[in-house]
Structure 1
Amino acid sequence: MSRRHPIISITGSSGAGTTSVKKTFENIFRRENVNAAYIEGDAFHRYNREDMRRKMVEEAERGNKHFSHFSPDTNLFEELEKTFRDYSETGTGTTRHYVHDEEEARLYDTRPGNFTEWSRLPEESDLLFYEGLHGAVVTEKVNIAQHADLKIGVVPVMNLEWIQKLHRDRASRGYTTEAVTDTILRRMPDYVNYIIPQFSETDINFQRVPTVDTSNPFIARWIPTPDESMVVIRLKNPRGIDFPYLLSMIQGAFMSRANSIVIHGSKLDLAMQLILTPMIMQLMDRKRRTL
């Protein structure tokens, strides 16, 4: 953690909705004139798309049916922690970009499924913003969580997470339902060991809960809409949070525990704006006092 060079980390599983949360942060940064440097979790995968496929085949032939993008074996945890640590100490660090599709391939002049070259983050940024799978991971070798000043977990209930992943991967990546199901099953041990524990490290969790039947996510025809959802917002340390103000500003909100507020799904962006903007500005005020 660093007063001079703060880090915000958004963590969630594949299909959890971290990209949507990132957009809310970008709106806050734009409105409050915060100059953020960005890094993506995909940039710290160990293998490009072709090598990962080949490695999965090799591992399957050895009897390993659970080789996944979630594990330390397939990610550069040490390099990610070093980037966090370097930024907290110096205000810069090293990252790269994973090229997902043809549109990005034209932008970065490399084929989809590959990485750009490593490069330094822009100088003179106000804070570092991370969005990905491992922004609060802790293992025997690394403790990435300790370097982030504000850690956010995006954690839809599991069936909803699977529905979102199924629809995204089929629509944007052309995968079959069977292929996505195989991926979910293959990732499960690493999901339990490396994704879920992070949500005990986060400062705030946003958990979307559908109010429609999602009993069998593998046959769901639609993703439950915000109007068909509630969101449980858990704050690790509720001290200083003006809950009466939030309840008055967010129609239909109620407290379920002393550190948890429940809102209608359509009010998520408003709730994030109300909760996160003061926290971001507090980081900026603390930064300015050290300069």
Structure 2
Amino acid sequence: MSQKHPVIAVTGSSGAGTSTVKTSFEHIFQRERLNVAVVEGDSFHRYDRESMKQAVEESEKGGGRPISHFGPEANEFEKLEELFRSYGQSGSGEIRLYLHNEQEAQPYNQKPGTFTPWKSIQPGTDLLFYEGLHGGVKSDTADVSQYVDLLVGVVPIVNLEWIQKIYRDTAARGYSAEAVTHTILRRMHDYVHYITPQFSRTHVNFQRVPTVDTSNPFIARDIPTLDESMVVIRFRDHRGADFPYLLNMISGSFMSRPNTIVVPGGKMGMAIELILTPLILDLVAKSKK
């Protein structure tokens, strides 16, 4: 980790809601006028869209264990580790973009589902912000987490995570419910071995727990709203949190353990900003000394 060039990562699996947390971070960066190098986790996939389809088909031949976007076979963990290490030392590193759709691809005159060329981060940024699947991942060949100064986990209970993924992929991406269910099953080995262990390494976890029945996520008609949820926030080091202040500021919150505060789901964005703003500003202040 670096005192000079901070690295902040938000990590969570597909459908976990990391994009919602990313919005809260953007509010903090804008309000505090921070110049941030933003990195999307998808840009460190190993294959473009068409090549990934072929790689999955090849891996499933003969009953073999399929590869997935959760695991090392389909990702450049070593390059992500090198980016975090390099940025922490010099404030720069190699990044690229994954172009998800026509709108993103058009300015680059490329097809959706492809990558832009690698390029160096421009000097002068205050910090690096990563949002994606693997901000705290470890594998046999890489340890990304060792170079992260602030690691934040976004971890809805697994049934809610699956509901969000099924709803998003069927409504927004046109997949059938059966196809999305197959993807969930195909990814399960990598989910257990590479996604969930990250949440034991995070500095802060935000886990959304619905207060409505989600016992069968595969027949759910809609996603429970924030107001139909509570958010369990766990700190790795409770000494870094001002719990009396948070309890006073967030109506309806309570402590469930010495390192855990529970807040109403509708207060999630507010809680993120109250908790993370001082942590981010502390990192930036130390980097400028």
Superposition TM-score tier, normalisation by shorter sequence: over 0.9
For residue 163 of structure 1, what is the aligned residue in structure 2? 163
For residues 236 and 160 of structure 1, what CA distance do their matches in structure 2 show? 23
What pairs with 1:178-193 in structure 2 (closer than 5 Å)? 178-193=178-193
Q: Give the secondary structure class of the aligned counterpart of 1:273.
A: helix
For residues 199 and 60 of structure 1, what CA distance do their matches in structure 2 show? 29
Paired amino acid for 2:122: P
For residue 220 of structure 1, what is the aligned residue in structure 2? 220
**TM-score in terms of structure 1 length:** 0.98
Q: Give the secondary structure class of the aligned counterpart of 1:239.
A: helix
For residue 110 of structure 1, what is the aligned residue in structure 2? 110
For residue 123 of structure 1, what is the aligned residue in structure 2? 123
Q: Give the secondary structure class of the aligned counterpart of 1:33.
A: coil
For residue 260 of structure 1, what is the aligned residue in structure 2? 260
For residues 45 and 191 of structure 1, what CA distance do their matches in structure 2 show? 16
Q: Give the secondary structure class of the aligned counterpart of 1:139.
A: coil
For residues 219 and 241 of structure 1, what CA distance do their matches in structure 2 show? 39
For residue 147 of structure 2, what is the aligned residue in structure 1? 147
For residue 101 of structure 1, what is the aligned residue in structure 2? 101
For residue 206 of structure 1, what is the aligned residue in structure 2? 206
For residue 49 of structure 1, what is the aligned residue in structure 2? 49
Shift in Å at residue 65 of structure 1? 4.3
Shift in Å at residue 238 of structure 1? 1.1
For residue 21 of structure 1, what is the aligned residue in structure 2? 21
For residue 286 of structure 1, what is the aligned residue in structure 2? 286
Shift in Å at residue 14 of structure 1? 0.2
Q: Give the secondary structure class of the aligned counterpart of 1:182.
A: helix
Q: How many residues align?
A: 289
What pairs with 1:56-71 in structure 2 (closer than 5 Å)? 56-71=56-71
Q: Give the secondary structure class of the aligned counterpart of 1:284.
A: helix
Shift in Å at residue 143 of structure 1? 1.1
Q: Give the secondary structure class of the aligned counterpart of 2:114.
A: coil
Paired amino acid for 1:115: F
For residue 272 of structure 1, what is the aligned residue in structure 2? 272
User: Gaps spanning 5+ residues in structure 2: where?
Assistant: none
User: Gaps spanning 5+ residues in structure 1: where?
Assistant: none
Q: Give the secondary structure class of the aligned counterpart of 2:187.
A: helix
1:92 and 2:73 aligned: no
For residues 57 and 153 of structure 1, what CA distance do their matches in structure 2 show? 31
Paired amino acid for 1:229: S
For residue 3 of structure 2, what is the aligned residue in structure 1? 3
**TM-score in terms of structure 2 length:** 0.98
Q: Percent identity?
A: 58
For residues 31 and 206 of structure 1, what CA distance do their matches in structure 2 show? 22
Q: Give the secondary structure class of the aligned counterpart of 1:129.
A: strand
Q: Give the secondary structure class of the aligned counterpart of 2:212.
A: coil
Which segments of structure 1 move beyond 2 Å, counting only runs of 4 or more? none
Q: Give the secondary structure class of the aligned counterpart of 2:239.
A: coil
Q: Give the secondary structure class of the aligned counterpart of 2:256.
A: strand
Paired amino acid for 2:189: P
String of CA shifts for 1:209-259, please: whole Å, max 9, x gaps: 000000111111110000100000000011131101100000000000000
Q: Give the secondary structure class of the aligned counterpart of 1:190.
A: helix
For residues 240 and 110 of structure 1, what CA distance do their matches in structure 2 show? 46
String of CA shifts for 1:105-130, please: whole Å, max 9, x gaps: 11332111111111111221000000
For residues 183 and 140 of structure 1, what CA distance do their matches in structure 2 show? 24
Contact 1:66 1:189 in 2 (8 A): no
Sort the Cα spacing of 1:240 and 1:61 in 2 relative to 1 into closer, same or farther, 3 A. closer
Paired amino acid for 1:179: A
Paired amino acid for 1:272: I
Paired amino acid for 1:7: V
Calculate the aligned-residue CA RMSD, in Å.
0.8
For residues 62 and 6 of structure 1, what CA distance do their matches in structure 2 show? 46
For residue 83 of structure 2, what is the aligned residue in structure 1? 83
Contact 1:8 1:149 in 2 (8 A): yes
Q: Give the secondary structure class of the aligned counterpart of 2:111.
A: coil
For residues 137 and 35 of structure 1, what CA distance do their matches in structure 2 show? 26
